[in-house]
Amino acid sequence: MKRVFSGVQPSGNLTIGNYLGALRQFTELQQDHECFFCVVDLHALTLPQEPDTLRAKTLEVAGLILAAGLDPKRIVLFVQSHVPAHAELCWLLNGVTYTGELSRMTQYKDKAKGRKVITAGLLNYPILMAADILLYRSDLVPVGADQKQHLELARDIAIRFNNRFGNTFVVPEPFIPKVGAKIAALDDPSKKMSKSDVAESYIALLDPPDVVAAKLGRAVTDSGREVRYDAKEKPGVSNLLTIYALCRGMSVKKAEADFAGLGYAVFKKTVAEAVNETLRPIQTRYREFTSSGAVRQVLVEGAGRAAEASSLVLRQVKEKMGLLV
């Protein structure tokens, strides 16, 4: 069975972008893959976090990953900092990664822009991500389009290490959805929807129905009247059409046909209904998972299984690099 690994940062409210770009794929892959999903709290520390909020969000994100439709009996879900092997392998891979590779990353450049000080963590972020993936000898990594470059670096690090020290790592493949890999922000369709932006810009998985309707009602479109997919000329409308199509499980073409001759107000209202129908079962399961206290238990078991699954690779890496083990 092929191995799958993916991570989600607990740095804010999970959005419909996270769901459509990543979590939805997790639920499909769990059927016939051995899956490891990780709440990557160490990654969140590369930007300033309020400690109590980070702790609360770590539990919330874990609950939402489960609520998205994952079966805790089938998958391993755990918190990154609970398995020290991630930080250890990250350090070891620091020795085979070049600063030029890191400073070229577009996410680094975007996040560093306008900051007075830039932490080393922000630069080294992709090494930790490579460690996450390579530690489990993962074959497939389901992510949104924004992570493609990080994944290419993880592949380069794996290939370089294997060449230098002998075959150790599996070279992972990205698993990026054809539609929905980059859901745009509601208030600015030229940007990706991000959980660390203002609340108006995203639909959170825990937003109540009236909030979803209000946010979509205010979503930026254009001065035209036609509901048509045209990513260049009509990015706002195209983004909402994509969200609608994915929520309804139909093609964008079919979604377009649903709105032929209808105005933007009806369009937005119907998109809100589709989004709310998608969120309702997630929110219900989330309440069930949190009220039963099941999330904590899943994370404890998950950390144990992840530590076990990763120990051999970490030991091999240490031996190959010349540490006294």
Residues designated catalytic: 111, 192, 195
Which segment (139-147, 152-160, 264-272, 284-292) binds ligand AMP by CB under 6 A?
A: 139-147
- Rounded to an integer, what distance in angstroms lies between the CA atom of residue 152 and that of residue 143? 12
Integer distance in angstroms from the first to the last C-alpha of the chain? 30
**In the bound complex, which residue of the shown chain has the CB atom lying closest to ligand TRP?**
7
Which CB atom, from 6 or from 97, has the smaller least distance to ligand TRP? 6
Stretch 108-137 residues interacting with ligand TRP (CB under 6 A): 129, 132-133
CB atoms inside a 10 Å sphere around CB 310: 23
Which CB atom, from 40 or from 65, has the smaller least distance to ligand TRP? 40
The CA–CA distances, whole Å, from 5 to 30, 72, 92 equal 11, 15, 20
Residue 172 binds ligand AMP (CB under 6 A) = no
- Rounded to an integer, what distance in angstroms lies between the CA atom of residue 107 and that of residue 109? 5
Neighbouring-strand partners of residue 192: 184
Pairing verdict, β 76-79 and 34-39 = parallel
Full DSSP string of 178-234: SSSSSPBPSS-TTSB--TTS-GGG--BTT--HHHHHHHHHT----S------BTTTB
Residue 6 binds ligand TRP (CB under 6 A) = yes
Position among 3, 43, 137, 195 found at the interface with ligand TRP (CB under 6 A): 43
> Kind and range of the H or E element at 5?
strand 3-8
Q: Give the one entry of ligand TRP, ligand AMP, none that residue 181 binds, where binding means its C-beta sits below a cut-off of 5 to 8 angstroms depending on kind.
A: ligand AMP
Residue 219 binds ligand AMP (CB under 6 A) = no
Which CB atom, from 12 or from 302, has the smaller least distance to ligand AMP? 12
The CA–CA distances, whole Å, from 11 to 21, 170, 194 equal 17, 29, 10
Which CB atom, from 20 or from 306, has the smaller least distance to ligand AMP? 20
Q: Give the one entry of ligand TRP, ligand AMP, none that residue 182 binds, where binding means its C-beta sits below a cut-off of 5 to 8 angstroms depending on kind.
A: ligand AMP
**Rounded to 5°, angle at Cα 193 from 298 and 18:** 20
Phi-psi region of 185 (alpha: psi -120 to 50; beta: other; left: phi over 0): beta
Residue 130 binds ligand AMP (CB under 6 A) = no
Position among 147, 221, 242, 278 found at the interface with ligand TRP (CB under 6 A): 147
Which CB atom, from 60 or from 256, has the smaller least distance to ligand TRP? 60
Interface with ligand TRP: number of residues (CB under 6 A): 13
Q: Which residues bind ligand TRP (CB under 6 A)?
A: 5-7, 9, 40, 43, 129, 132-133, 141, 143, 147, 150
Q: Which residues bind ligand AMP (CB under 6 A)?
A: 8-9, 17-18, 20-22, 143-144, 146-147, 181-183, 192-193, 195
